[in-house]
Structure 1
Amino acid sequence: MGSLFVLLAVYTAIFLLGMLMMRAGLYTLSGDRMNEWLMRFTAKPWQSFLTGLATTALVQSSSAVMVMTVGLVATGYLSFRQSIGIILGSNIGSTLTTELMTLDLGEGAIPLLLGGALLVFLGRRRFLYGIGMAVAGLAVLLFAMDGFSSLARPLAAYPFVNVWLQETNRSTAAGLLVGIALTALVHSSAATIGIAMGFVNEQLLTLPAAIAILLGANIGTCITGLLASIGAGKEARLTAYTHLWLNVAGVAVFAFFTAPLARFAALLSPAPDVQLAHVSVVFNVVCSVAALPFVGAIERAMIRLHGSR
């Protein structure tokens, strides 16, 4: 029994390593321009929105973008108002990762890994090194996803895991708590969603239950921004609080519609993991686009709720 949970921890670590490799490769390609983009193209809410979306899609981590944003707000390079648009765009940009996780390359992941490693070790140019790291990281991530699927059914054979699965399938609240707790623990909503994909692919979790975990993961990922804001200025803390409240508000609405979302996702793809990835896109796009016209109102509400600047 213990060996299966050790394997789950190992696959989770491999998944996080793949994410780190992809992030390092893509950051190498963009260089120090990430901070420059965040500062230059944020004059208006829609510009902040597009900048947050593009930066997160490149970095492959909304948590990393949140840490950068909180840091720039704390040092005065960005205002609290500018950070709201970045948060909204970042939530959409993070969905690219969940879509990439559904790629099924089969044995093709091995040559992908070897090709990426070759570019890393033999590529003398920064561009080739960045491409190699990103490609190798994607292969490592897909390997971990296969591991999650392979462990799902053996883990479900244990009574307490089976009880947990049944409770999660019955209760949206249970799924939300699992998503929040697991994401806060591993500091990666993508890893939590990846584990949920493994169980839903083996039909051990229903799609509505997996959606509940996904929604919880969107709240759990806010812990990174909150930690980054400790000891920072008031506007930096307001940025972290806004990230949390925006995600909580979106989840509070969508939590009542997990079953309709599952039915809608079934129309888009026959594969359960792809359905879950598409739900992530729908959730984040709807919430962010709906909130974008109200950046000023959100700013005033957060200042009123958490104190003056």
Structure 2
Amino acid sequence: MLISMLLGLIAGLTIFFIAIIVMSKAVSRAADYQFKKWISMLTTNPIMGILVGSIVTAITHSSSGTTVMVVSLVNSGVMNLYQATAVIMGANIGSTFTAQLISFNFYAFVPHLLFIGVLLYYLNFHPAMKQLGKFTIGFCLLFIGIEIMSNSMDPLKHVPSFQQLMLSIEDHSFKGVLVGLFTTAIIQSSSTGVAILQSMGFQGLINLTQALPILLGQNIGTCITTIIASFAVDKNGKRAAIIHLFFNILGVVLLYPFLDPFAQFISQLTPLNPVRQIANAHTVFNILNTLILIPFIRHMVWISQKIIR
């Protein structure tokens, strides 16, 4: 049972990762240097920066991809740290788009969309249509991977040690934060981590009270990709990575004392749907964190400059 469950989980994760890579490459090939220049021009205002970060991340389904791009743009001088901070905030909001899509019953449309994507890719009407087809194929693979993961986790209902772990997280929420942090740091994708949580919620393996601290830890764990990318850039690129980490840690610290009332509020929005609850918690947390910290963009930049001299 355990081996078949692990094989199913690995297969689902692999398809999920392939889907994100396919979509990201389709978007990057459709965009040239002019796209980066437009991003630089549009992000001079913090609100516009947040909007750009949200849209780019929602399209690519990868906040890590957006923040790594931001680090490279800062490193090349196309974007300054104030612009970068706003885009990073937006990337955190945009990363919740995948979870929201998963929370709706979208699977019935996947075979039809996959057929359209294959047609657009192979009929080759136009290079842009080819990339759109590639993106659509990746988008469908995303849901296929999640479906496989969800089905593979069903046997966990009957594993006593797993049940004990979930109960211990409910009583000791900091353990959940650590679980989310380390697992997301290993897989380097918060979207994947949240998708796994939603799959567990669908199978009745986890409730919102147990999922919420893990969700917070995932927001910190996703910063590892940006930190690794910053090793190859100059001091401003490293500062952008520090800002990303600092922003997410601050959000967790601010919400952590209010986990119970926050969970109650989210539960009331969709009382009978744990998958939607996890998606809504992910979205509301990142929007609240951004709204609270927008006035402190300059302070975060100043702190990053003190850390990386």
What is the TM-score of this pair, normalised by structure 2? 0.92
CA distance in 2, matches of 1:152, 1:260: 29
Distance 1:29 1:74 in 2: 23
One-letter code aligned to 2:169:
T
Match of 2:173 in 1: 172
Cα-Cα RMSD? 1.9
Matched with 1:20 is 21
Asked whether 1:285 is paired with 2:287, we answer yes
Alignment of 1:51-90 (within 5 A): 51-90=52-91
Residue number in structure 1 paired with 2:273: 271
CA 1:12/1:136 → structure 2, altered by over 3 Å: closer, same or farther? same
How far residue 207 of structure 1 moved from its aligned partner, in angstroms, is 0.7
- Structure 1 residue 183: deviation in Å? 1.0
Q: What letter corresponds to residue 289 of structure 1 in structure 2?
A: L
Q: Is the 8 A contact 1:25 1:130 kept in 2?
A: yes
Instruction: Give the Cα–Cα distance (whole angstroms) in 1 for the partners of residues 165 and 154 of structure 2.
Output: 13
Q: CA deviation at 1:37?
A: 2.6
The CA deviation string for residues 267-297 of structure 1, in whole angstroms up to 9 with x for no partner, is: 3223211111111111111111221122112
- Report how far residue 81 of structure 1 moved: 2.3
Map of 2:220 onto structure 1: 219
CA shift digits 1:13-36 (9 cap, x unpaired): 111112222323344444544422
Q: Which ranges in structure 2 are unaligned for 5 or more consecutive residues?
A: none
**Number of equivalences:** 307
Residue identity matched to 1:186 = I
Q: TM-score, normalised by structure 1?
A: 0.92
Structure 1 pair 41–165 and aligned structure 2 pair: CA distance change class (3 A): same
What secondary structure sits across from 1:43 in the alignment? Answer: coil
Match of 2:150 in 1: 149
In structure 2, the residue matched to 1:40 is: 41
Residue 202 of structure 1 corresponds to which residue in structure 2? 203
Q: Secondary structure at the match of 2:65?
A: helix
* Range 133-142 or range 247-256, more displaced: 133-142
C-alpha contact (below 8 Å) 2:174/2:213 kept by paired residues: yes
Match for residue 122 of structure 1?
123
Aligned in 2, Cα 1:138/1:214: closer, same or farther, shift over 3 Å? Answer: same
Q: What SS does the corresponding residue of 1:101 show, helix, strand or coil?
A: helix
The 5 Å alignment of 1:85-100 reads 85-100=86-101
Whole-angstrom distance in 1 between the partners of 2:28 and 2:105:
25
CA distance 1:42–1:105, change in 2 (3 Å): closer
Q: CA-to-partner distance for each residue in 1:240-283, whole Å, 9 max, x for gaps?
A: 01100110010112123232222222232232111111111111
Identity of aligned residues (%): 29
- Tell me the CA shift for residue 105 of structure 1: 3.0
